[in-house]
Structure 1
């Protein structure tokens, strides 16, 4: 599943925290709520709200806590059991984490409203060639360009500080910082579409970067070390994000239904087994008269006789 402009992902402003306020307060715990909790981490730009709603409908007895984590910290949050599962950027270390891909985001170029690319329509895309003369600021938490991969445009250059010194440009720490820098008109940045939406500003717009690197998002959890009850909750979340129905045999409701149906089947099997031990005659049955008719109307054993 690939994110397309305006459709595949929920609007970040509406969905990024949807479900969190009425599920838990700001500190994450209600004093009077003694339900067991399942902690779902999510990185900036990920949108857990739609799945949080489904969780509350299906498992009202388990509190869902949404925990935002930074991109670089998400694997450590899972390893340290600060969260039980997480929506994060792929790939992950397969020796430590299981992960299933959910969707893939498109890369976008964020530019100031005064930039030439801002004059294009929102449906138009840009290419790497369109950025040839632009300084491209990649944030330190960039997820699109691994080390060594070519970045479009020009890298920020060192400059004279006016006092005989040379100043190395400081890389923006986060996507939000990069977009704020772009707003000043000193260059552009490339980020996943959800982050451009999340950090939306009136003085910045964005266009899809055609042929740019995609940004996959997935659900991850520990390979080892989860208690049985948490592992079952992870399975429930897997079912939810994969779109399984509430009655799926792999979900709690399906298992409970199967156990309920198993009891009558077990009783029926016991009756059939007792019947076989009884020679097939059945247990507790009243023998019927021979001849199949009412008593006294059967044929005499000696055949027909003359009187």
Structure 2
């Protein structure tokens, strides 16, 4: 990704395995003048791009350190075991963790990323366990993936800074959650209504002397003045309140 933010772009970071095609297409239809700037973030610390101000939102794999961030869980991913094609378990529909006892787990090797782990699995040296989307992303001809039924699922979530819930962020949430353009607009209008109401009340209070809900009193008209030769105000009639 370029260090220079594209002018007017909405910046979206995502961990490997997340597919943005559908959401990107809907965004482009609704916001043709606001391009998406999409880039990978570090799976180990996906919120770093938010803390450094490089992203407006990120798709992250939970759990993450959520202090100061809003988090919306989106969907779960089942774990899979990536096995060599010739492995005895390759014919099974699914496995349990006990089936992998005694196998070398290359996903647990700190010297390997998952891409390298799958490459080693293909040689027949062991196995690897990872979320299903990553098993698909890093698939090779010499491996197969089987669901591990007794491991917990992982969750993909949308994350952004609590203090940066902009209209664009709200619109992007609407896209991701499948809202129509009209419903997203309506939700934004509802969220803006209280602020507009407070502004209107403050303006009314200022005009009424500082007390909300009180109306400004009209100035009294002066009666006939001595020596004026006519009834009414000699300077042009009744004085009204200031505009």
TM-score (ref. length: structure 1): 0.57
1:49–1:205 distance in 2 versus 1, CA, 3 Å: same
1:116 paired residue among 83, 88, 91: 88
| Structure 2: segments with no counterpart, 5+ residues | 194-243
Q: How far, CA to CA, are the matches of 2:43 and 2:188 in structure 1?
A: 35
- 1:125 correspondence with 2:59: no
1:59–1:29 distance in 2 versus 1, CA, 3 Å: farther
1:196–1:29 distance in 2 versus 1, CA, 3 Å: same
Q: How far, CA to CA, are the matches of 1:49 and 1:103 in structure 2?
A: 16
Q: How far, CA to CA, are the matches of 1:28 and 1:107 in structure 2?
A: 35
Number of residue pairs matched? 191
SS of 2:141's partner is: coil
Indicate conservation of the 8 Å contact 2:10/2:37, yes or no. Answer: yes
SS of 2:74's partner is: strand
**Matches of residues 7-86 of structure 1 in structure 2 within 5 Å?**
36-86=8-58
1:103–1:253 distance in 2 versus 1, CA, 3 Å: closer
Indicate conservation of the 8 Å contact 1:98/1:223, yes or no. Answer: yes
TM-fit CA distance, 1:211: 1.1
- 1:104 correspondence with 2:38: no
Q: Which runs of 4+ in 1 moved over 4 A?
A: 26-30, 252-255
1:90 paired residue among 52, 62, 72: 62
- 1:247 correspondence with 2:186: no
1:109–1:101 distance in 2 versus 1, CA, 3 Å: same
Indicate conservation of the 8 Å contact 1:138/1:172, yes or no. Answer: no
Structure with bigger helix share is 2
TM-fit CA distance, 1:206: 0.7
Which has the higher Rg, Structure 1 or Structure 2?
A: 1
SS of 1:109's partner is: strand
Q: How far, CA to CA, are the matches of 1:92 and 1:73 in structure 2?
A: 8
TM-fit CA distance, 1:97: 1.2
Root mean square deviation of aligned Cα = 2.5
1:185 paired residue among 97, 110, 124: 124
